């Protein structure tokens, strides 16, 4: 799939998180694509979408167990938030939606960095919320994701 994506892992079921995802896409100003219920467009005609998958659809079993133990809950759904083109201007919307979906579903946002994150950046994220580091990636709770969204080096890889 082309474009960029962020994944939120949640202990809630797909049926529980889908209304939240739809509400947050609307709150971001996106407009649903009637023929495709998973397809959405910004007012600038940027194509977005979402998917609801099993938690291990893109996250390895060992990584899920680490996240489950650290968070104290078992992840039951992976929420993929996508922009289907490589447009830097559309990526902050993904970050904001991921933050709000994580907040409302007790989820964790998977963040991959361009390079190994510095101790200063990790400290900044950990001070704001919970940050679970797994190799060169992290899973952020909603407050930590808010700090990442506001960080001057914010980026989305994928």
Closest residue by Cα to residue 122 from 106, 104, 134, 107: 134
Q: How high does pLDDT run on average in the chain?
A: 91
Read off the pLDDT band of 39 (50, 70, 90): confident
What are the structural domain ranges in the chain? Answer: 4-107
CATH code matching the domain that covers 4-107, chosen among 3.30.310, 2.60.40, 3.40.190, 2.30.320: 3.30.310
Does 150 or 115 have the greater pLDDT score?
A: 150
Convert the pLDDT of each residue in 56-95 to its tens digit. 998 999 999 999 999 999 999 999 999 988 777 788 999 9
Strand positions, DSSP E, the chain = 4-10, 31-33, 36-41, 47-53, 77-83, 108-112, 131-134, 137-140
Whether 107 has a pLDDT exceeding 70, the answer reads: yes
Query: Token pair for residue 133?
Result: 């580091």
Q: Are 114 and 129 in contact (CB under 8 A)?
A: no
Note the pTM of the prediction, 2 decimals: 0.93
């Amino acid at each position: 799939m082309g474009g960029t994506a962020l994944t939120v892992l949640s202990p809630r079921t797909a049926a529980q998180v889908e209304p939240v995802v739809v509400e947050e896409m609307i709150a971001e100003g996106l407009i649903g694509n009637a023929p495709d219920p998973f397809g959405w467009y910004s007012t600038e005609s940027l194509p977005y979408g979402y998917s609801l998958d099993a938690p291990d659809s893109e996250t390895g079993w060992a990584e899920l167990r680490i996240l489950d133990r650290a968070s104290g809950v078992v992840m039951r759904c992976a929420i993929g938030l996508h922009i289907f083109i490589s447009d830097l201007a559309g990526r902050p919307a993904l970050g904001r939606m991921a933050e709000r979906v994580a907040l409302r579903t007790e989820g964790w946002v998977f963040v991959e960095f361009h390079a190994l994150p510095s101790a200063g950046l990790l400290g900044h994220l950990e001070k704001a919320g919970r940050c679970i580091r797994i190799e060169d990636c992290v899973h952020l709770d909603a407050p930590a994701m808010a700090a990442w969204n506001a960080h001057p080096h914010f980026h989305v890889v994928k």
